[in-house]
Amino acid sequence: MELQRKSRTVRPAGPLDGGYGWFIVLSTFLVFGLTFGVIKSFGVFFVEIHHYFATTATTSSWITSISVATVHFGAPVGSALSAYFGHRPVVMVGGLLSSIGMVAGSYAQDLLQLYITVGFLTGFGYALTWTPTVTMLGWYFEKRRPVANALASTGECILTFILTPSFQFMVDQYSWRGAMLILGALQLNLCLCGALLRPLNRLVPPKELEEKEHELELLSQPHIDSRSSNNRSDSKKSDALKVKIIRYVDYTLIANARFMVYSMFGVFAALGFFAPSLFLVPYARSQGVEEYQAAALMSISAVLDLLGRVLFGWVANLRLVKTVHQLIVTVILLGIVLLLGPLATTFTQLALFSAGYGLVFGATVAIHITVLAEVVGVERLGSALGFFMLIRSSGGLLGPPLAGEMFKRNLVTSDYPKGRGRTSVKQVFYWPPNLFNFPSF
């Protein structure tokens, strides 16, 4: 029993909630920006690629779709590799793959090559980068984990705001190939983010202790006869294999009811919460809002998103209520805001909707990883993040196209205001729904 107690008290040891942990926050901040921030800003390249290869917008958008899909499907791989090799080398390799993918994409001669390089290779590099870094952040913070996660997630907002005009400038100056080459060099900073991930001193039970505990468990079983010894030996080998697998990929999370309920939250969130980021601008145009005013709605949403992440991350850190209760409130408010969205028809009303959506969406994003750590425990956070991303991807597959189809039907059956620059539903619905291109969550 004493051996069992020792083996179960595995906890991170070292300086928590401060000190070097703020460098981990910086690393995660940059990882958010150089992965999902780059993905959100990559639309600048689509127009150039669309014209260069004389293809459709839908065909070009599959570059980002493949990239985001690979991030989600590759998350469990990143988690398992970081558990085996360590977080620092895996993140550094991921940054190198991301850079190679972008550089190779700058020499692409057709869209298939862009799908493979920028889509798959860079996306897989992001998968090896994002999950281990966020896991390490959860290990370095306990009491201040909500505010640490919130501050780190703002990297997505801030770098998107910075990178979008920067990419446009680079495209104008050096063409899309030159701009993508520069972006490939920029992605090498992900390797520096990995270098910042200094491992914590962890109290891991020695191998001999695990073996003795396993022997005690076998001895505690009732002895039947000598013929059952071969069965016990096979069972021992099978148990040892299961222990090794769980150490790197904790598949037992699938049997964890609380984790699966939380994962269903992620699926439904991906189904409905991200529609405004895809369809707000075309919807505003369909209501007669001018082009630049419609574009300004996304800027309003982005600014309030940033404010929501910082403000409500700080509120969660005060521990006035349980973090999961705060998440429930923000999710309910986000649902209400989305239900009120179709009632907005003027620019002022749409601006208010954008502000409300950005604020509550940021409040939700700021704390959902903190809640996941509380649901499964910090020791299982790496595997939990991987499986959560994998399960949530099903909502991303269905949500945007369903919302796009409903939006398209609404435009077809409505009277679209006439005027300069407004000639057809096809022109208004200028960016077809993307199967995977939704904000990180």
Say yes or no: 138 and 261 in one domain: no
pLDDT of residue 206: 42
55 lies in the same domain as 183: yes
In a domain, 437, yes or no: no
Percent above pLDDT 70 for the chain:
72
Question: Tens of pLDDT along 17-28?
Answer: 778 889 999 999
The helix/strand/coil state of 19 is coil
User: Which residue matches tokens 């980002």?
Assistant: 64
The CB density around residue 90, as the number of other CB atoms within 10 Å, is 25
What is the pLDDT confidence band of residue 105, given thresholds at 50, 70 and 90?
very high
Are 187 and 296 within one domain?
Answer: no
Does 115 share its domain with 261? no
Amino acid 89: pLDDT: 94
Return the bridge partners of 12, or none.
202
Would you say residue 108 lies in a domain?
yes
**Residue 189 CB neighbour total at 10 angstroms:** 16
- Give the residue from 180, 200, 220 where a domain finishes: 200
The domain total for the chain is 2
pLDDT at 205: 44
pLDDT of residue 423: 38
Q: Indicate whether 362 belongs to any domain.
A: yes
First and final C-alpha spacing in the chain: 42
Structural tokens at position 199:
């491992």
Contact 440, 305 (CB under 8 A): no
CATH of the domain at 286: 1.20.1250
DSSP 27-50: HHHHHHIIIIIHHHHTHHHHHHHH
| Nearest alpha-carbon partner for 265 in 361, 392, 402 | 392
157 domain-assigned: yes
Residue with tokens 């030159």: 178
Residue showing tokens 């408010």: 333
Same domain, 57 and 191: yes
Mean pLDDT of 174-198: 93
Max CA-CA distance within the chain? Answer: 90
Helices (H), 14-144: 21-32, 38-41, 43-52, 57-85, 87-105, 111-114, 122-140
Return the SS3 of 245: helix
With H, G, I as helix, E, B as strand and everything else as coil, classify residue 336.
helix
Domain-embedded: residue 211: no
Residue 305 main-chain phi, psi, to 5 deg: -60, -45
Query: Is it the case that residue 359 has pLDDT exceeding 50?
Result: yes
CB atoms closer than 10 angstroms to residue 301: 23
Residue type, 262: Y
* Range in 311-325, 351-365, 371-385, 426-440 with the lowest mean pLDDT: 426-440
Do 317 and 395 share a domain, yes or no?
yes
Residue among 349, 386, 385 nearest 368 (CA): 385
Q: Are residues 194 and 320 in the same domain?
A: no
Q: Which of 358, 353, 352, 345 has the alpha carbon at shortest distance from 289?
A: 345
Same domain, 183 and 265: no
In a domain? residue 385: yes
CATH value at residue 119: 1.20.1250.20
**In this structure, what are the phi and psi dihedrals at residue 13, rounded to the nearest 5 degrees?**
-115, 145
Does one domain contain both 180 and 308?
Answer: no
- Kindly tell me if the per-residue pLDDT of 112 is higher than 80: yes
If asked whether residues 181 and 268 sit together in one domain, one would say no
Q: Where in the sequence is the domain holding 366, given as residue range(s)?
A: 251-428
Least Cα distance to 24 among 32, 314, 248, 72 occurs for 32
Spatial distance between the Cα atoms of 363 and 310, rounded to a whole number of angstroms:
8
Whether residue 194 is found in the same domain as residue 60: yes
> Which pLDDT value is given to residue 302?
83
Q: Please list the alpha-helical segments (H only) found in 249-346.
A: 257-272, 275-286, 291-317, 323-340
pLDDT tens column, 229-264: 575 555 555 555 555 555 556 667 777 788 888 888
Neighbouring CB atoms inside 10 A of 249's CB total 20
Domain final residue, candidates 200, 229, 261: 200
Residue corresponding to tokens 């780190």: 152
Q: In the listed set 139, 165, 200, which residue is the last one of a domain according to the structure?
A: 200
CA atoms in the 13 A half-sphere facing the CB of 192 = 10
The Cα–Cα gap between 342 and 403 comes to 13
* Domain assignment of residue 100, yes or no: yes
What does 272-286 look like in DSSP terms, one character per residue? HTTHHHHHHHHHHHH
Question: Tokens 């239900």, residue?
Answer: 339
Same domain, residue pair 183 and 282: no
| Residue 39 CB-half CA count within 13 A | 30
Q: Is 195:26 a contact under the CB 8 Å cutoff?
A: no
Residue 214 inside a domain? The answer is: no
